[in-house]
Every structure is written in C-alpha cells, then in structure tokens.
Amino acid sequence: MSSTISPCQLYARALFGLVFSFNIATVVCLDADDRSCQNGECTISDDYAHPDWSQFQGHLGPFGSGIADAIPIDEINEWCSVQTFLSDYVLPRQPLVFRGAAKLSPGFQKWTDEYFLDLEDVPRDNQVLVETVKKEDRGQNTLFMNFLDFVASYNASGLYMVDTVPEFIRDDLIIPWPLQCDQLYEQRIVNTIMWFSSGGTKSVVHTDSVDNINCIYRGQKEFVMVDPMRFGHLVDIDHPEGAYSSVDVDRVDYSKFPGLAETEYNTIKLEAGDCIYIPYKWIHQVRSFDSNIAVNIWWDAHGNQDIDMEDCPFSYDPLLTMSHVILHSSEEGDSNNVAEIKDEFLHFVTPGPKDFNAFLGYLVPEKEELDEMKVGIGYLFPIKKMFALFDVDRDGRMTLAESKSLPEEAWETVREELQKMDLILAKIEEEIQRLDDEPGHWERYPDGPSDREEL
C-alpha cells in the first residue's frame, strides 16, 4: 500500500512540522529521474508515510536513549582560568566538564543535613521555594517554607528545594575560577540556585537564556544534552513561552516527537564534586540520584564578547566566596532584545568572515524549500539590508571587526529588519497552513501555491 504526495506538499509539511518526513523519503520524492515521480506527484511506501517507530532506537524509552553519536564533550580536572574558559568554551558555546572542581569549596565537606540543622544564624522568617513534584511539571503546586523545616522533612516528604542559595551559607562556596572576574561576578550573575532533594528528580527538556555552571555537592546527576546548532531543529520546544518541550522524558514517543528519532545526544554523568558548563540555549534534561545537592550559577550570556580578559585575574583565589556575588536581572531574549541580537551575530562571525549566502542560510535555513515552493523573495529584502549594514567595507563579507564597529543605532536597525523578516516568514507559514488545509489544493497545484504572487 502507498500514499501519494506532491513535492511541494512534502516540502511544506517538512518545513513547518505538519508531518515528519525522512531524508530518504525526500530524496525519493524530489529526484526528477525517479520513476516513482509522475506529473509533479510521487508515490512513497507506507514504510515512510507511516513508519514503524518501534524499529527506531529510543522509541518509548527515556529521553537520551536514542542515537548517542554526538561529538564528545571536553573534560578537565578541576578548573581552568577565566581566559581559557571564555576563549575556548564560552565564546564558541561549547560545553565543558570540570571533574572534582566542586571539592575545592568548603561546602563539599560541610554540607550534611546535620550541619544545616545545627546552623544558629538562620532567621526564622527565612523562606525557600519548594517544589512538590519531583518529575518537573511547570503547572505544579509550589510552597514556601523555612530552610531548616525543609531540611528536617525533605527525606520523608519528597519535597524539592529550588531557590537562590541562602545568604547564611554562601561563604561555604568558592566562586568557580572561570568566573573569578569582577566583570562577571559583580556585573553579570543572574542567580545562584540551590537544587536540594532526596534524589529521583527529573527536569523537562528545556533551554536556558543564560550561561550556566552547575556543580554537584552531594549525590549524582545525569545531563542529557543536545547541540542546538546541529540538532535544534529536530527538538520540538513546543512551549516557547517557557522554553521547554512537553515530551515525556521517561517515555519518548517518536510518533508525537519524530525529530527526536534523528537527534544525537550527549549523556554526561556527574559525581559529587563535579561541575559542568552548559552554554546559552543548549538543549538539556537533568536527572538526580540519591540524596542530592547541586548549585548552579546563571550569568547573562549577552556581552561575553565585551569582557576584557586581560583585566581578569590569571590565578585562582580560594577566598573569593559566593557572598561577593552581586545578582542582576536578565531579560528573556526575543527579537526585541538588541543585546541578544548583537550577541548572536557576533557569535556567528567569530569563527571567520561570512558572505551573503552564509548569512542567508543562518537566518533562513529553509531557504531552498521556500524557493522550491515559489513563495517569492519578499523575505530577502530585510536580510539584504542587514547584510549591507554589516559589510562595512563593501567587500561582500561581514567580519567580527566590522560587526563590533557598528554603532547602537545600526543594531537598532538590525532589530527592526529582523522583525520585518519574522513577520513575512510568519505570513508565509500561515498561508501554507491554509493551503494545506484546503481540500485538494496540492493536487490542483502540485508545483506550489496558486496565489504565490500574494505570498
């Protein structure tokens, strides 16, 4: 048995996620010499139209149990310098594992339940946020309770503390050496979160709009990570308002989240004393085991390019504790956030100069599909205007130096043109959805939308 589908319809559905299509099915349908393609239509077997998901590794298994062929993540013993961390990992947005680094903080030895319960300077009005469900549910009930009351009850109740590290134990933690620069710990730290439970917690699949170092002080954690540059388009973050996916992390159903069948994963197991750097926007999911305490430091990722590394210390200060950290708020990123836009484009050109085609592919990775669907070139005009701003010397390339030289008013123009581009692409998506819902449209117009001039 087989199904009939036009090339344009396949493109539309693959592009906007209306159905999932495998690469091999696309090749069969788009090969003009293939005998299965007749009059703009092609016949594909039900093996592709209705795949047997049970044959795919990881179907109905935990998140991360699929393909494990991702590029390995670097590991080092203890910390590295601020300069190495920023240049080799933060700017290129590459994760890094620090084995044994958290053992340098006094809290690694001190933080037992008995130690907490014997603290004498805990204000009775101190309140910490506590989650009531260990498998993360963004709609769950939460409550506030005194820190000592939490410590006395969490083992029996299954409660899970997720809140800023209390002031009265911040001196137990040394600021990680990679962050021991006043441009970071005094100006860019968004929050320092303590994750405290009896184990068995499971986060949703999500991204963070900040950079993150997470250290384990008790128990073990498992991080499943996905490189957003290589596989981000395959992971359905279907709750963009909270930057998370509704996929069941214990039972991943490929029929609902088919992109995960082709996603490659990194699984990192951390023991007590280990830390990990999770770059801005990296997709990840976290599980904890045994009695568990972790602390993560979130800092604003926008402006990392502006840090003067020569002004940062070249040696580790074991007396620089978390009490020296000054917390600052961070804006969530979107097309209105000039700081985030600037950071994204500077990151794009950091490896080397980019020509217009590379710039276009970066902003609109689905360009070939759009061209095949004959949707017009309206979306290209704001992109050309942006590239002209970046190409200061008019040599057909944009460079890091040119991008850094742009005045603030130019970045404001970039923001406005990005919004125009987003609006045009959104209108195209809406129209394709409308045509896809129109009975028989694709059979009548196999080569593309009939009203492409309007698009």
pLDDT of residue 424: 81
- Band of residue 336 on the pLDDT scale cut at 50, 70, 90: low
- Band of residue 11 on the pLDDT scale cut at 50, 70, 90: very low
The whole-number average pLDDT for the span 217-236 is: 95
Task: Considering the domain delimited by 74-324, tell me its CATH architecture.
Answer: Sandwich (2.60)
pLDDT of residue 19: 33
Residues 418-455 have pLDDT tens digits of 888 888 888 777 777 776 666 765 555 555 544 444 44
Residue 68 has pLDDT above 70, yes or no: yes
Q: What's at 146, amino acid-wise?
A: N
pLDDT of residue 450: 45
Task: Tokens for 453, please give them.
Answer: 């001039």
- Band of residue 294 on the pLDDT scale cut at 50, 70, 90: very high
Is 36:28 a contact under the CB 8 Å cutoff?
Answer: yes
The whole-number average pLDDT for the span 334-345 is: 74
Residues 6+ apart with CB under 8 A from 430: none
The whole-number average pLDDT for the span 108-131 is: 93
Residue 25 has pLDDT above 50, yes or no: no
Residue 334 has pLDDT above 70, yes or no: no
pLDDT of residue 36: 43
pLDDT of residue 266: 95
pLDDT of residue 3: 36
Residue 45 has pLDDT above 60, yes or no: no
* Strand ranges inside 259-417, DSSP E: 266-270, 275-278, 283-299, 354-355, 397-398
The whole-number average pLDDT for the span 60-72 is: 91
Residue 408 has pLDDT above 70, yes or no: yes
Q: Which residue has the higher pLDDT, 2 or 416?
A: 416
Residues 6+ apart with CB under 8 A from 92: 350, 351
Residue 413 has pLDDT above 50, yes or no: yes
The whole-number average pLDDT for the span 349-367 is: 86
pLDDT of residue 443: 57
Q: What's at 422, amino acid-wise?
A: D
pLDDT of residue 33: 41
Least confident stretch, 16-20, 50-54, 375-379: 16-20
Percentage of the chain exceeding pLDDT 70: 82
How high does pLDDT run on average in the chain?
83
The whole-number average pLDDT for the span 329-353 is: 73
Is 238:230 a contact under the CB 8 Å cutoff?
Answer: no
The whole-number average pLDDT for the span 65-71 is: 87
Q: Is the C-alpha dihedral spanning 371, 374, 378, 381 positive or negative?
A: positive
DSSP state letters, 37-82: EETTEEEEEHHHHS--GGGSTTTTS-TT-SB--SPPPEEEES---H
Give me Rg for the CA atoms of the chain: 25
pLDDT of residue 81: 96
DSSP state letters, 200-267: --BPPSB--SSEEEEEEEEEEEEEEEE-HHHHGGGS---BTTTTB----TTS--TTTSGGGGS-B-EE
The whole-number average pLDDT for the span 330-343 is: 64
pLDDT of residue 31: 39
Q: How many helices (H) and strands (E) does the chain have?
A: 16, 15
pLDDT of residue 446: 55
pLDDT of residue 50: 67
Domain boundaries, the chain: 2-51, 74-324, 338-444
Is 364:425 a contact under the CB 8 Å cutoff?
Answer: yes
pLDDT of residue 321: 97
- Band of residue 329 on the pLDDT scale cut at 50, 70, 90: low
Residue 207 has pLDDT above 90, yes or no: yes
